[in-house]
Amino acid sequence: MKIGIVGLGYVGLPLAVTFAEAECDIIGVDIDQARVTSLREGHSHVEDIPHERLAGALGRCRFTTRFVELHETDAILVCVPTPLTRNREPDLGPLLGAAQALAGVIRRGQTIILESTTFPGTTRQHMVPLLEESGLRAGEDFALAFSPERVDPGRTDYTLRNTPKVVGGYTPACLEAAVAVYAPVCDEIVRVSTPEVAELSKLLENIFRSVNIALVNEMAILADRMGIDIWEVVDAAATKPYGFMRFEPGPGMGGHCLPVDPFYLTWKAREYDISTEFIELAGKVNQQMPYFCLERAIRALNDVGKSVKGARILIVGVSYKAGVGDMRESPALKILKLLRGRGADVAYHDPHVPELVDLGLRSAELPAGADGVDLAIIVTAHPTVDHRAIAESAQLTLDLRGVTRGLDARVLQL
Ligand SMILES: NC(=O)c1ccc[n+]([C@@H]2O[C@H](COP(=O)([O-])OP(=O)(O)OC[C@H]3O[C@@H](n4cnc5c(N)ncnc54)[C@H](O)[C@@H]3O)[C@@H](O)[C@H]2O)c1
């Protein structure tokens, strides 16, 4: 099979490499010339795809900015970004741009699958009219389906191969065509009746996480006020063998998916006179967490007779999640800026993020960077960082991730 991938980011590049490893030939298209050039040279910008793995797949991959090369493929997977506008409304620009470009190059017999996360109705109402500008009919001349990407950056136990793949076809025949595309790389395919079911199922997954993270964060704020250890509460509740799923408190939500995708549904729901209260509330609680963390830091310093102004503070872990360097929507940035705004002298350490160009900071070397700082704040707990050593070097540590629990009195938990 010859597979086309449109959008070579966190989603598209791993797909390209995985299909190449399954002996498919790949045409990878991206509008970013610099990205295409560096991929051709074997440089991966996605941590989950090490350079060596990309190098191993290069023989089967052709990376290009030219959509026309997709004409010869059997299937085209669309993995372009779905961001929000400044007004926090869906920005379908990249998606519509890709669909328009595809209309000029697709041919009879191809299967086109949208993987980008989006609101229900995108495939049918937005993709179909643009793709049919080609003169070809969806469901007759070419197959069309939606199949949400479920990648969890940094995760190695669940991959494209062993994570069930949800697929919804524009017609039953489109569904079967899409299933055949994924068969070489996915062990289990979950057929659903329409693209809309598949589109909404992805949003439900993301919203489920966002709401549950907000719930435990709100509980953490309350537990703090009540003088109860939230981590002990979560540990205790998680012993229930059924009806409870463990979520942990933290500094707020980051990444592309959770802070952004739920608002695609909020926007769409308005068309149906529904206001999605859970999504809004979860967003509100999670957005407040960096401010709560700031208050905890100020209180921690105050309790030892110090003010935040002029305090030497080390932020440990600035990416949005452990084990990866992805900075998108990272709450650590917010906390760092808030502390700076209060006059603190802030440095950071993150093995995955060598510098924060906009803030004029480079990752501090350890152990020197933690030595004698007034406060170390563990915002993201990367597995390769020795948090205990940091807690021993710093005068005080505020741990927002519960990785230094029970250490000593100079270590405070969220
Ligand atoms: N990152 C994740 O963990 C994740 C997980 C599941 C789903 N998703 C969804 O997958 C989609 C892609 O996300 P991502 O993280 O890979 O984004 P990304 O920003 O990492 O990559 C997107 C790529 O698409 C390219 N692009 C933009 N417009 C284009 C166009 N018109 N034509 C061709 N290429 C274009 C960009 O240059 C970029 O290289 C989004 O809808 C996202 O919500 C992401």
Question: 363-392, pLDDT tens digit by residue?
Answer: 999 999 999 999 999 999 999 999 999 999
Closest ligand 1 atom, residue 82 Cα: 41
Query: Does any ligand 1 atom lie closer than 6 A to the CB of residue 79?
Result: yes
What's the gap in Å between 317 CA and the centre of ligand 1?
A: 24
What's the gap in Å between 331 CA and the centre of ligand 1?
A: 21
What's the gap in Å between 206 CA and the centre of ligand 1?
A: 16
pTM of the predicted model, to two decimals? Answer: 0.94
Q: What is the pLDDT of residue 409?
A: 65
Query: Does any ligand 1 atom lie closer than 6 A to the CB of residue 176?
Result: no
What's the gap in Å between 153 CA and the centre of ligand 1?
A: 13
Pocket test for ligand 1, best of 29, 30, 321 (most atoms within 8 A of CB): 30
Question: 162-205, pLDDT tens digit by residue?
Answer: 999 999 999 999 999 999 999 999 999 999 999 999 999 999 99
State the catalytic residue, choosing from 24, 79, 174, 257: 257
Contacts with 390 (C-beta within 8 Å, 6 or more apart), sequence order: 314, 316, 349, 366, 367, 370, 376, 378, 397
C-beta atoms surrounding 384 within 10 Å: 8
Q: Residue ranges of the chain with pLDDT lower than 50? A: none
C-beta atoms surrounding 164 within 10 Å: 12
Q: Which two tokens stand for residue 292?
A: 């709560």
Rg of the chain over all Cα atoms, to the nearest angstrom: 23
Query: Does any ligand 1 atom lie closer than 6 A to the CB of residue 256?
Result: yes
What's the gap in Å between 160 CA and the centre of ligand 1?
A: 16
Whether a cis peptide bond, with omega within 30° of 0, leads into 129 is no
Q: What is the pLDDT of residue 271?
A: 96
Query: Does any ligand 1 atom lie closer than 6 A to the CB of residue 413?
Result: no
CA-nearest of 128, 120, 122 to 92 is 122
Percentage, residues of the chain above pLDDT 70: 100
Question: 33-57, pLDDT tens digit by residue?
Answer: 999 999 999 999 998 899 999 999 9
Residues 115/78, Cβ–Cβ less than 8 Å: yes
Query: Does any ligand 1 atom lie closer than 6 A to the CB of residue 29?
Result: yes
| Kind plus residue range of the DSSP H or E element containing 113 | strand 111-114
Using the structure block, give the residue that is written with the tokens 């996915």: 186
Closest ligand 1 atom, residue 256 Cα: 1
Answer yes or no: 293 catalytic.
no
Query: Does any ligand 1 atom lie closer than 6 A to the CB of residue 6?
Result: yes
Residues 331/251, Cβ–Cβ less than 8 Å: yes
Question: 268-289, pLDDT tens digit by residue?
Answer: 999 999 999 999 999 999 999 9
Question: Which residue has a Cα nearest atom 35 of ligand 1?
Answer: 7
Q: Which two tokens stand for residue 241?
A: 């063998």
